[in-house]
Structure 1
Amino acid sequence: MTNSTPRIAPRICVIGGGPAGLTCARVLQGHGIEVTVYDADEAVDSRDPGGTLDLHADSGQIALEDAGLLDAFLARARPEGQAKTRRDHHGTVLAEFTPGPGDEAAPEIDRGRLRRMLFDHLRPGTVRWGHRLVRVNPLGDGGHLLEFADGTTAPADLVIGADGAWSKVRPLVSDAAPRHLGVCFLDARFDEVDARHPEVAAIVGAGHLFSNDNDGRAVILQRNGDGVVRGYIAFRAAPDWHIAAGVDLTDRESVRAHLVREFDHWSPAMRTLIVRNDGDYVPRSFWALPAPLTWDHVPGVTLIGDAAHLMAPFGGHGANLAMLDGAELAHAVSRAVGPEPAATLDEAVARYESAMFARSGELAASSNDALVRFFATTDEPDLPPDHEQEHRDYLARAEAYRRQRARDRGERAEA
């Protein structure tokens, strides 16, 4: 008879309950691995989650497939939302794309619906809402102690930073910080758009509208679910632009008067998109981490999503890569925590990081470059990519990704 010491399951803590963190937790639980998610929000739906996301076949959809939720996603998604129109500031159509029948290369889903779907498929009690992380204290040997704003603490053997642009976990592995990309925008919305704003509905169509002038101003509108269109009125400016402009961001009419002056050379139909919104203008700005960003592995900690590779939203890669990060990290951890481990936990995490760096670096750099081109001061319009080819590429890369995974798993099984 031989004696064996029972393996002690590592305490895995995910910081951040967005799509990346919830996907990671769901896939970990699919492998039978315990995990706790901490999020500062009071509940899954306690704040405005933002607009709509297109989940790509070669990344976000693969993550959902790994989570066993691809069918649930497709039942909630809007394939027609893949439609895109590019207009100039006079309203002239420069390019259009309408998805064909059965095109599910990058269907849209509201961020709130995606978050709710992921949350509802986790075990009860997995997410600890109302836990704002304030500090992570290294304990040695890869262990860390999490400190939250309410005074509670939690020990962890693996801390997964899924806490976005201003991550509290990132400083443990890198001193990189987001830089402002020189573009700000105001988030506005149109409710019951088909009945109350038919002129906006007609211009936006079933998906997205992109419009810009040759002086760094733009309007980007997205058809969301439940009859809502969200709009982003964007312009080149510093984050504190409103101070020099004398604009009170809490006063809708003060903001509106400023926009009327700034966009006075746009056509009346296009100015409708800027000044007829329901609700207030919510100020936001574009930030990005250096790209590509890498770091030397630090025992007991890693990053996924915006915490690892915050990028401009042009191309829609951020959320897709974030969810794929979460799934791939969960698979890596399973190879170290399973009944027949093929690596130590830190070896597995380091391999995930190496693959994540290669996967995200070029896309982050190209997304940031795309934003600069879109907001450039030029007489030449920045025309969109060939979306039909883009969708074919998503599907081809998805198939290649699955084939490579199958080969990798076969090689591990043989080893």
Structure 2
Amino acid sequence: MRIAIAGGGLGGLTLARILHRHGIDAVVYEREADRSARPQGGALDLHPESGQHALAEAGLADRFQSEARPEGEEHRILDPTGRTLVHHEPQPLSFSGRPEIDRGALRDLLLDSLPGDTVVWGHRLVAATPRPDGGWELTFHGGHRTGCDILVGADGARSAVRPLLTDAPLSYVATLVELNIGDVDRRHPDLAELVGPGNLWCVGVNQILAAQRLGDGSLRVGISLRADGRPIDTYRSRRALLDMFDGWDPRLTALIEAGDSAPTPRLIEAMPTGTRWPSRPGITLIGDAAHLMPPVGEGANQAMLDAAELASQLAADPADPDSAIRAYEEAMFTRIHPIAEMSVRVQAMMLSPTAAEDIVRFFTARPAEPTFAQ
């Protein structure tokens, strides 16, 4: 059973690791040139029932605890004047909740757990063609070709595998602009104190200015804005961003001014809630390729849980992988539907005229939900 996994993100690597533990080989084809080709983004909180469960299935729970930061669960929510609306402080040194871990550290943890030849770097899948005798012929950028019996699309929002199963469209739901501030304790101690050890949200009308402490002593700043018709390049201007937050407390907008480099904007997209497809032999999807949702704290966790559940089905019935894929997909569709609906509601709530009041009510009832970093 030759398994090819398109995409070396958290979902694809988790799948490869759990399959490896069951004695099933898989090859991960990753478009990046090597593991250090680009920064992996901010931190995320791993949920016990999904991300942490997947790491336990991967035999990596202890290593996760050695890398995770329980103090990163601290969450501060302010209004544009700097007034504190919510301040959630986790129990010190407790792993009972949703401890934070940097994406880069989590990816390295997974990579280090795999045989050295599992990930094939510099291979961006551009086409997959069904073969007459079953399986798939894979074509990569540059012309390299290979074959597999089972193809798993773990290749994210712009998946090259997804169109083989569904033509579900992507819709533009928000704009996210990111900045980084390095060595914040030494260079910007006032911002370090403002953000604290975890997450900060400054909530206005139809916009959020957020910051997040990473394990390397830096801050990741994120500006979330409602979808509008402005050209994406508008958001590359620091001056334009500051104008959008005109009238806010200067202690908050200092997060924009302190960014080490030009702002990096990206469009946030989502698939329709309830997307599903008829099962097809020898192919399936996990993570954002299967169920791209607004980024409110579930994406990576559900991708890792997808990986754990697919690996479990394949290991339980290796002689009939198509039945294993069907069982995985049916369970995944059922699990994801309410999570996707919740993600849409939370995204709309966060970027609304009454966001501050709505978020305070939400966090008062559910203090651990959700986090900026997903």
- Give the structure 2 partner of residue 399 of structure 1: none
Q: CA deviation at 1:369?
A: 1.5
Letter in 2 for 1:355: A
Q: 1:148 aligns with which of 129, 140, 143?
A: 140
Contact 2:76 2:200 in 1 (8 A): yes
Identity across matched positions, percent: 41
- Give the structure 2 partner of residue 310 of structure 1: 292
Contact 2:40 2:104 in 1 (8 A): yes
RMSD in angstroms over aligned alpha carbons?
1.8
- Give the structure 2 partner of residue 189 of structure 1: 180
Query: SS in structure 1 opposite 2:248?
Result: coil
Contact 1:20 1:162 in 2 (8 A): yes
Q: CA deviation at 1:390?
A: 5.6
Flag the 1:256–1:138 CA change in 2: closer, same or farther, 3 A: same
- Give the structure 2 partner of residue 20 of structure 1: 11
In the alignment, the residues of structure 1 paired with residue 355 and residue 30 of structure 2 have an alpha-carbon distance, to the nearest angstrom, of 45
Query: SS in structure 1 opposite 2:335?
Result: helix
Matches within 5 A, 1:366-385: 366-378=342-354, 381-384=357-360, 385=362
In the alignment, the residues of structure 2 paired with residue 207 and residue 115 of structure 1 have an alpha-carbon distance, to the nearest angstrom, of 20
In the alignment, the residues of structure 1 paired with residue 34 and residue 229 of structure 2 have an alpha-carbon distance, to the nearest angstrom, of 29
Q: 2:31 aligns with which of 33, 40, 63?
A: 40
- Give the structure 1 partner of residue 262 of structure 2: 280
- Give the structure 2 partner of residue 324 of structure 1: 305
Flag the 1:390–1:213 CA change in 2: closer, same or farther, 3 A: closer
Unaligned runs of 5+ in 2: 370-374
Does residue 267 (structure 1) correspond to residue 243 (structure 2)? The answer is no
Aligned length: 367
Deviations 1:246-291 (A, max 9, x none): x483xxxxx1211222211111111112222112211112111111
Residue range with higher mean Cα deviation, 205-214 or 20-29 = 205-214
Letter in 1 for 2:347: L
Contact 1:239 1:285 in 2 (8 A): no
Q: 1:233 aligns with which of 223, 235, 245?
A: 223
In the alignment, the residues of structure 1 paired with residue 4 and residue 82 of structure 2 have an alpha-carbon distance, to the nearest angstrom, of 49
Unaligned runs of 5+ in 1: 1-9, 250-254, 393-415
Contact 1:141 1:299 in 2 (8 A): no
Q: CA deviation at 1:140?
A: 3.8
| Structure with larger Rg | 1
Q: 2:194 aligns with which of 194, 203, 216?
A: 203
Residue range with higher mean Cα deviation, 15-24 or 101-110 = 101-110
Letter in 1 for 2:290: A
Flag the 1:51–1:294 CA change in 2: closer, same or farther, 3 A: same
Contact 1:142 1:158 in 2 (8 A): no
Letter in 1 for 2:289: A
Query: SS in structure 2 opposite 1:184?
Result: strand
- Give the structure 2 partner of residue 334 of structure 1: 315
Matches within 5 A, 1:246-257: 247=234, 249=236, 255-257=237-239
- Give the structure 2 partner of residue 353 of structure 1: 329
